[in-house]
Amino acid sequence: MMRLIWVAVAAITLALPARAAVDIKEVTSPGGITAWLVEEHSIPFVALEIRFKGGASLDAPGKRGAINLMTGLLEEGAGDLDARQFAARAEELAARFSFDVYDDTMMISASVLTENRGEALGLLRSALIEPRFDEDAVERVRAQVLSIIGSDATDPNEIADMTFNQIAFGDHPYGSSLNGTLESVAALTRDDVVAAKDRLMARDRIYVAAVGDITADELGALLDDLLGALPETGAKLPDRAEVGLTGGVTVVPFDTPQSVVMFGHEGIERFDDDFFPAFVLNQVLGGGGFSSRLMAEVRKARGLTYGIGSYLVPMDHAELYLGQFASGNNRVSEAIDVVRAEWAKAATEGLTEEELERAKTFLTGAYPLRFDGNATIAGILAGMQSEGLPIEYIETRNQQIEAVTLEDIQRVATRLLRPDDLRFVVVGQPEGLEGDGL
Amino acid sequence: MPRRLIGLALAGLAFALPLQAQEVTTFTLDNGMEAVVIENHRAPVAVHMVWYRVGAADEPPGSSGIAHFLEHLMFKGTDDRASGELSGLVELNGGSDNAFTSWDFTAYFQRVAADRLDLMMELEADRMRDLQMTEQDVLTERDVILEERSQRVDNDPGGLFSEQRRAAQYMNHPYGVPIIGWRHEMEELSQDDALDFYRRYYAPNNAILIVAGDVDPDEVRALAEQHYGPLEPSPGLVARTRPAEPPQLAERRVMFSDPRVSQPYVMRTYLTPERDSGAQETAAALTYLADILGGSGATSFMGRKLQFETQTAIYTAAFYDGTSLDDTTFGLVVVPSEGVSLADAEAAMDQVLEDFVTEGIDDAQFERIKFQIRAQEIYAQDDIQGLARRYGQGLTSGLTVADIQAWPEVLDAVTKEDVMAVAAEIFDERRAVTGWLMQDEAEEVMQ
């Protein structure tokens, strides 16, 4: 169980911890597929991370949920193996595969032992290139997805999330659940699933990272075999999404003792010159968990919530600045007032010198500590590639944090934080809180 | 599949990972504090943990939630440090910190650059004996844990269902009381309750230090002697003997309805032995049994029968976690397909157990599981914090370092006959609680 806390002590300057000790090589296969590699031969396995850009937002019109259903079916039979044979084979090899899809990305993670790497990656290849999508598997996974959709409809966290996205993005794919609806998923056919795969899983949008017991030559040789048979191109990436948020409160009545709140307004692009100042600003306002202003005021000073956080969310086709918390129905109105007040205070006053220095010290010190496991590092490297970051980013990232000044913070605070534009979606039976009907 | 499934609280219950023989060093300070150092030099990172041999199952009757409440209050300051200063210093050093409470332990940890271990020990040692707080701190933090209870339990029918089933499972042992506490008792928790609990149980002779990562055992020992060595032990600590379960003679059923439930399911738990020091064989066989019966939807016995040969269920699982101080549970869950009633789902679950006794274990499946258990030892080395946690959890659950290190071999020695023998032993309905989670009771009865 977790707890979080606010701190107010004098700034103490300390030497930074060691720099991230990762040596990344870029490997290009004979067939032209690129991957980032960190060799680490101390443990006899390799973690492989594959990403396809576009994610579930590439659902064809009227086929919402097809890509999610397809993703769930990749490990349900491939090549000569039906679902059960495929699973048994993976167990036999002690290979670990996971297939997940989000709004902008499909993420495939694999960990395979050195002693049977060829066979294990052969099995993964089969799932990526020749999944069977057998009718019985489609029905089995469809039933699971329908159950999840049903459960989400009575889960206050999911209701808040779906309502907020609907208000923010309307008909853009970001505006609806990637699971689809009961109706859209019920109507999907095997052909839709096959089409969904070809829309997303193409070589023009693939990112690969490998970390572990493998050499550059070995990796280069296997990339073509693993991925070379995928189609060259997929569906056109989605259009830019208009953020249709306006300031105010939306109440979704739901009979539960604690109200769940999502709030936010438009955010900032990942490659905006002010992204790093915005990132540091948010660290102090509501990021970082333990010591943010929102935690100090909403949790520690008033006990209104167990946890509150805010996040910059730069997606591929839109940017949001979001936050969330949950408070008892009789206290949520007060908590919202506190959030608004903190947003306004930061917008006009920015941060103190001490807050800025503390945030920079934490962010730069914590960064190298992230790089401590094959699977973790592979995930970071694949994420960097799909965000469009250069390989040198790991070396320069802390300098960009260090370079942020109080003037930068003040400028970005004025521009980014707009308390009157905050939309609060409240799911529960909040007392003394009126929605505006949106 | 399996996809993110239906809000079942199964995380962490699935399959206890064994350990590869690590570079592990142990020592004990003169004041009774035990220490375990796990070397791993891949990254310049250290995990520093202090585990107390006290948890929610050690609370005085009527004060449920006090162990967890104290965990929150441990961040409120000491005679030397202001409220929140510890987390602030960890953060200023680029580290992260947190704490967790279970029935058998309370643990505090920091993850920092390896050269910051000295400061972490200074801070952790300071709050082991010198905690201080104001009345206002306590009252506000009590509101926080009540909100935490709302978020984890009251806002989630699955959480409420789990609480009710557990209370029925343990008729006398405090494992039947939720870690977070019953709300009516949490509302009455006081500063005195917290400090009484603290003074009794937070002491070097009730604590285990675990340091994992890029560290040298001799240096860790020197730092431990410097920071933890001077702390006074708590007098009068006795062996942890909780009220034991009487013979369980009557099957129990928990029927829970909540309008917020969309996906009904049936879950059954059986009171089951845990890993005992020097005698882990039964627990090892039970670990296999969970995997064989319900480890994977596609290849397990229950998944094959209920998700493939028939379409009775959309999800099935069996779970067992043997790392526990006292008797634990073995669980089965069946999430029925659309149109299948909970009565039919439960009947199908019973039929699976019957069939298992007659059909036995598939050789190929048994060999696959055995190989996977060996492979786990390789993958586990990638997660240093996970290794540290296993020692902490094991040592606060009545096991020794030798038991924890022997576990992979004990698992490796399990035979099919061992598994069938424990299956014959544990599936006794008189020791079981069968729960139905439903949206509307009347509706379910009519099906």
- Its ipTM equals 0.92
Least confident range from A52-61, A157-166, A405-414, B376-385: namely: B376-385
- Tens-digit pLDDT profile for residues B43-97: 889 999 999 999 999 999 999 999 999 999 999 999 989 888 888 899 989 999 9
Burial class (CB in 10 A: 0-12, 13-18, 19+), A407: exposed
CB contact under 8 A, A88 and B88: no
Q: What is the pTM of this model?
A: 0.93
CA distance B119 to B363: 53
Mean pLDDT, chain A, rounded, equals 93
Token pair listed for B194? 């917290």
Closest listed residue to residue A234, CA positions, set A288, A272, A181, A198: A198
Distances (CA, A) of A285 to A227, A262, A304: 43, 16, 17
Helix %, strand %, coil % for chain A, to 5?
45, 20, 35
| Chain A residues inside the 8 Å CB shell of B83 | 5
Alpha helices in A170-311 (DSSP H): 182-187, 190-200, 216-227, 275-285, 293-294
**Could you say which of B5, B82, B95 has the minimum Cβ distance to residue A9?**
B82
- Model confidence at B445: pLDDT above 70: no
DSSP assignment letter at B150: I
Cα angle A317, A402, A208 (rounded to 5 degrees) comes to: 45
pLDDT for A290 equals 73
pLDDT for B4 equals 37
pLDDT for A4 equals 30
- Tens-digit pLDDT profile for residues B348-365: 999 999 999 999 999 999
| Chain B residues inside the 8 Å CB shell of A369 | 43, 45, 94-96, 111-113
Query: CA of B314, closest CA in chain A: separation in Å?
Result: 6
CB contact under 8 A, A144 and B314: yes
**Could you say which of B144, B335, B368 has the minimum Cβ distance to residue A299?**
B144
pLDDT for A254 equals 97
Distance of CA A277 to the CA centre of its chain: 21
CB contact under 8 A, B147 and A304: yes
**Could you say which of B92, B296, B379 has the minimum Cβ distance to residue A358?**
B92
CB contact under 8 A, A369 and B45: yes
| Chain B residues inside the 8 Å CB shell of A138 | none
Interface test with A, best of B101, B186, B305, B379 (most A CBs within 10 A): B379
pLDDT for A34 equals 96
Query: CA of B34, closest CA in chain A: separation in Å?
Result: 24
CB contact under 8 A, A88 and B369: no
Element (H, E) at A159: helix A156-169
CA distance B272 to B283: 9
Question: pLDDT band at A372, cuts 50/70/90?
Answer: confident
Query: CA of A413, closest CA in chain B: separation in Å?
Result: 23
Q: What SS3 class is residue A87?
A: helix
- Model confidence at A16: pLDDT above 70: no
**Could you say which of B75, B150, B263 has the minimum Cβ distance to residue A258?**
B150
Q: What SS3 class is residue B126?
A: helix
pLDDT for B7 equals 34
Which residues, in sequence order, are bridge partners of residue B254? B435
Percent of chain B residues past pLDDT 90, beyond the cut: 87
Query: CA of A154, closest CA in chain B: separation in Å?
Result: 5
pLDDT for B253 equals 97
pLDDT for B49 equals 98
- Model confidence at A36: pLDDT above 70: yes
Element (H, E) at A266: strand A258-266
- Model confidence at A235: pLDDT above 50: yes
pLDDT for A19 equals 52
> For A83, which residue in chain B has the nearest alpha carbon?
B298
Name the residue with higher pLDDT: B290 or A1. B290
Q: Determine the length of chain B.
A: 447
Interface test with A, best of B151, B187, B300, B437 (most A CBs within 10 A): B151
Query: CA of A270, closest CA in chain B: separation in Å?
Result: 23
Token pair listed for B19? 């350990």
| Chain A residues inside the 8 Å CB shell of B91 | 7, 288, 290-291, 358, 361-362
CB contact under 8 A, A326 and B369: no
**Could you say which of B42, B111, B368 has the minimum Cβ distance to residue A88?**
B368
- Model confidence at A224: pLDDT above 60: yes
CB contact under 8 A, A326 and B364: no
Return contacts of A400-405, CB within 8 angstroms, 24+ apart.
A400/A276, A401/A276, A401/A279, A401/A280, A401/A360, A401/A363, A401/A364, A402/A360, A402/A364, A403/A276, A404/A276, A404/A277, A404/A280, A404/A356, A404/A360
Residue pairs spanning A and B at CB distance below 8 A: 241
CA distance B302 to B305: 5
> For B375, which residue in chain A has the nearest alpha carbon?
A94
- Tens-digit pLDDT profile for residues B253-285: 999 999 999 999 999 999 999 999 999 999 999
| Chain A residues inside the 8 Å CB shell of B144 | 3, 299-300, 303, 305-306
- Model confidence at A258: pLDDT above 50: yes
Query: CA of A142, closest CA in chain B: separation in Å?
Result: 10
pLDDT for A15 equals 36
| Chain B residues inside the 8 Å CB shell of A358 | 88, 91-92
Element (H, E) at B312: none
> For B68, which residue in chain A has the nearest alpha carbon?
A1
CA distance B302 to A6: 48
Q: Which residues of B are catalytic?
A: 71
- Tens-digit pLDDT profile for residues B131-189: 999 999 999 999 999 999 999 999 999 999 999 999 999 999 999 999 999 999 999 99
CB contact under 8 A, A76 and B4: no
pLDDT for A18 equals 47
pLDDT for B236 equals 87
Interface test with A, best of B100, B133, B155 (most A CBs within 10 A): B155
**Could you say which of A8, A44, A362 has the minimum Cβ distance to residue B378?**
A44
Closest listed residue to residue A324, CA positions, set A137, A106, A156: A156
CB within 8 A of A5, min separation 6: which ones?
A: A290, A291, A295, A300, B75, B83, B84, B87
| Chain B residues inside the 8 Å CB shell of A375 | 382
Q: Phi and psi of A124, rounded to 5°?
A: -65, -40
> For A9, which residue in chain B has the nearest alpha carbon?
B85
pLDDT for B14 equals 30
pLDDT for B122 equals 96
| Chain A residues inside the 8 Å CB shell of B134 | none
CB contact under 8 A, B147 and A258: yes
Mean pLDDT of A234-250: 96
- Tens-digit pLDDT profile for residues B11-34: 333 333 333 446 899 999 999 999
pLDDT for A7 equals 28
Residue with tokens 């970390």: A211
Interface test with B, best of A67, A372, A376, A401 (most B CBs within 10 A): A372
CB contact under 8 A, A291 and B141: no
> For B107, which residue in chain A has the nearest alpha carbon?
A1
Q: Phi and psi of B439, rounded to 5°?
A: -80, -45
Question: pLDDT band at A6, cuts 50/70/90?
Answer: very low
